[in-house]
Structure 1
Amino acid sequence: MKIYKIIGLMSGTSLDGLDLAYCHIWEENRSYKFDIKASKHIPYAKEMELKLKDAIFLTADELLQYHNSYGTWLGKQAKIFIDEEQLEVDYISSHGHTTHHQPQKGVTFQIGSGQHLANESGLSVICDFRSNDVALGGQGAPLVPIGDALFFESYDFCLNLGGISNMSFEVEGKRIAYDIGLANMGLNYSTRKAGFNYDDGGKISRKGKINPTMLDALNSLDYYDLPFPKSIGYEWFVEKVVPIIEATNDSIENILHTSVMHVAEKVAKEILRNSKKTEHTVLVTGGGALNHFLIETLQAKLGDTVLLVIPSKKIIDYKEALIFALMGVLRITHQINVLAAVTGAARDSSSGVVYLPS
């Protein structure tokens, strides 16, 4: 039985930092198994957080320079992690950080040069998982559903509350998934404006009240009416959501409370719309799973027939890094890791580019 020893790297739209998960992944009885042996979260310094957030405004040559330097930085962090934990590693599988995502224009870009990462770490690297799917006419997102299907198939729905909310589920033997809409991206934008890193456990939002004008504006965003497959990126947030937040002259408590109500309402609507049984289980991961007020609000909107399952903190924090490790294993073994039923591409694919150190 071959055990792949691989580090998954993930930087998401919430911009809270880099996640590293050292995983053992193997196939047993035609089913994939995993063990997260070690993990590490590296918060972004304020300067890096701002540079990643504003990368969509860089010129082409500035963006490519940052692509290379960020790749080198990723390699350094991986090497430090390996040395600290004395790890035996076969590969690094990196999501990079999405700076541009406009699949309707055939464009998606995740910075973090694979060659620079490989050279700095001294290990083979698999990255750039989205480009091939976009070239095949797909959204290039979401990618996590392959891991939902192979690792977490016992749940009726897999819900991720990261910067963006997305979910995946099975319909007649096919995995369906799409970005629902907002989650922590809006919440974090507002808390950071108020001088907080995030709303710990939803304590601030719990104190607020609904701002009806803001809630109506968020609920009326055109994206929510689009059919799937569909996905959103930071550009959509800047263009469509930031103006609503900025136009809302209210307390931070009320703005966050309203944002939570919006997220819960839209997520609950999508889960209930796709519920086919009398009882369902929903695995909830991503930073939003730790926002107690959001989870309580969502559970109330779902009612008694849908149970939200909050897993261990390690799974909450490192599920995406784990699944990108799996995607790397599937790429190395020439197996499908991106699902056309999810992205809308012309066909399933084994995506990702392999870089060797030199």
Structure 2
Amino acid sequence: MNTYKVLGLMSGTSLDGLDIAYCHIWEEAGKWNFSIKETAEIDYSDKMREHLKNAIHLSEEDHDQLHKDYGIFLGQKTKEFIENLKGDVDFIASHGHTSHHRPEEGITFQLGDGQLLANTSGKKVVCDFRTKDVSLKGQGAPLVPIGDELLFHEYDFCLNLGGISNISFKKDGKRIAYDIGLANMPLNFITHKMGMAYDEDGKLARSGKLDRTMLDKLNNLEYYQLPNPKSTGFEWFSSEILPIIESSKASNKDLLHTFIHHNCEQIANAVHQHKNSSETDTKLFATGGGALNSFFIETLQEKLGREIQVVVPSKTLIAYKEALVFALMGVLRLEGKTNVLKSVTGATEDSCSGEIFMPAKV
């Protein structure tokens, strides 16, 4: 039994920071297992956050420079983490930070140069997990469902509440997943305007009131009518959601309150659409930053109803599930096994995705 010792790296659309998870991953009797040994969340400086946030607008030359700079940043942070680690690291699996995602045009790009990450950290790197799937006519997202399939298959639905919300479930023997829509991205946008990183435990949102006009506008967005597979990101938020926020006269508390209700209504719609009507004991496994927001979770449970139980795991798993799954994807890449599912992305075939970089010998 071979145990892989992997650093999984994740930076999500909510721009909270860089998540690092030191994981042990092994296969035993045909079943994958994991243990998250140590973690770290590296805050971005205001400058780095702005660079990443505005990467989509950069010239080709400036974008290429940010790709290199961010790769070195990832290398430095992982090197510091490894120096304080009690244990060996076989390799690093890095998601990078998505700057462009337009799969319908065959475009996706994750910042964080893999060669510079390998050179700076001194470790083998597996990264760039989306490009191959997009080249196979897939959405290149979501990728986390391979982890739901192999590590969390006992749950009927797996919900991730990051910058956006995505869901994963088994239907007719196949893993299906797609981006439902919004989660923390609008919430964090509003709190940043208030000079706060986020709304701790949803306290501000809880104290707000529902803006019915705005809720109707959000619920009527075209994206929600599109069939899956589908994925979205910051481009959609910028073009469709920001104008609604900026034209609203509602207070920040009311905006937060309304967005949580909107998010939860759309999630509940998705779950009810795909739930097996004969099942009375359905479990939904909720992770990502939104799972730490008690008002979000309470509102979601209310919209789902009593037949569907929201299961919230430990804070470590909530925060680092995505980093864990990228560590798993790195392991599968090195073993030559499928790590991106066509049933999820709509690609022409399953794939074993990811580029491998070895540190340059000085």
Give the whole-Å Cα distance in 1 for the aligned partners of 2:234 and 2:195.
21
1:52-83 superposed Cα distances (whole Å, 9 cap, x missing partner): 11110100010011001100110010000000
Measured against aligned partners, the alpha-carbon deviations of 1:56-112 in whole angstroms (never above 9, x if no partner) come to: 010001001100110011001000000012431110000000010000110000000
Cα offsets for 1:120-166 (capped at 9, x unmatched): 01111000000000000000000000000000000000000000000
Q: Distance in 1 between matches of 2:117 and 2:17?
A: 17
Instruction: Answer yes or no: is 1:326 the counterpart of 2:328.
Output: yes
- Look up the match of 2:343: 341
After TM superposition, give the deviation of residue 319 of structure 1 in Å: 0.2
Q: Secondary structure at the match of 1:116?
A: helix
Give the letter for the 1:70 counterpart: Y
> Residue 195 of structure 2 corresponds to which residue in structure 1?
195
Q: Tell me the amino acid that sits aligned with residue 74 of structure 2.
A: L
- The residue aligned with 2:249 is 249
Partner residue, 1:60 = 60
Q: CA deviation at 1:250?
A: 1.6
SS in structure 2 at match of 1:92? strand
Structure 1 position 209, deviation (Å): 0.7
**Whole-Å Cα distance in 1 between the matches of residues 309 and 357 of structure 2?**
42
Map 1:75-86 onto structure 2 (within 5 A): 75-86=75-86
Aligned mates of 2:86, 2:156 — CA distance in 1: 38
Structure 1 length-normalised TM: 0.99
Corresponding residue for residue 312 of structure 1: 314
In structure 1, what is the equivalent of residue 6 of structure 2?
Answer: 6
Selected match of 1:297 from 296, 299, 313 = 299
Partner of 2:353: 351
| One-letter amino acid of the structure 2 residue matched with residue 40 of structure 1 | A
Provide the residue aligned with 1:283 in structure 2.
285
In 2, the alpha carbon distance for the partners of 1:252 and 1:242 equals: 14
User: Pairwise mapping of residues 68-147 of structure 1 onto structure 2 (< 5 A)?
Assistant: 68-147=68-147
- 2:154 counterpart residue number: 154
Determine whether 1:213 maps to 2:213. yes
Residue identity in the other structure for 2:335: T
The amino acid of 1:168's aligned partner reads S
Counterparts of 1:119 and 1:47, CA distance in 2: 24
Return 5+ residue gaps in structure 2 as ranges: none
Q: Distance in 2 between matches of 1:315 and 1:352?
A: 24
Deviating beyond 3 angstroms after TM superposition, the runs of 4 or more aligned structure 1 residues are none
Establish whether residue 16 from structure 1 lines up as the match of residue 41 from structure 2: no
Q: Distance in 1 between matches of 2:234 and 2:316?
A: 26
Q: In structure 1, give the amino acid aligned to 2:37.
A: K
Query: What TM-score, normalized to structure 2?
Result: 0.98
SS of the residue 1:282 aligns to: strand
Equivalent position SS for 2:359 = coil
Amino acid paired to 1:58: L
User: 1:197 & 1:6 partners in 2: Cα distance?
Assistant: 29
Residue identity (%):
56
Tell me the equivalent position of 2:44. Answer: 44
User: What letter matches 1:16 in structure 2?
Assistant: D
In structure 1, the residue corresponding to 2:84 is in which secondary structure?
Answer: helix
Which residue matches 1:272? 272
Equivalent AA in structure 2 for residue 223 of structure 1? Y
Paired letter, 2:339: N
For 1:194 and 1:246, the matched residues in 2 are separated by 14
Per the alignment, residue 178 of structure 1 pairs with 178
Aligned twin of 1:236: 236
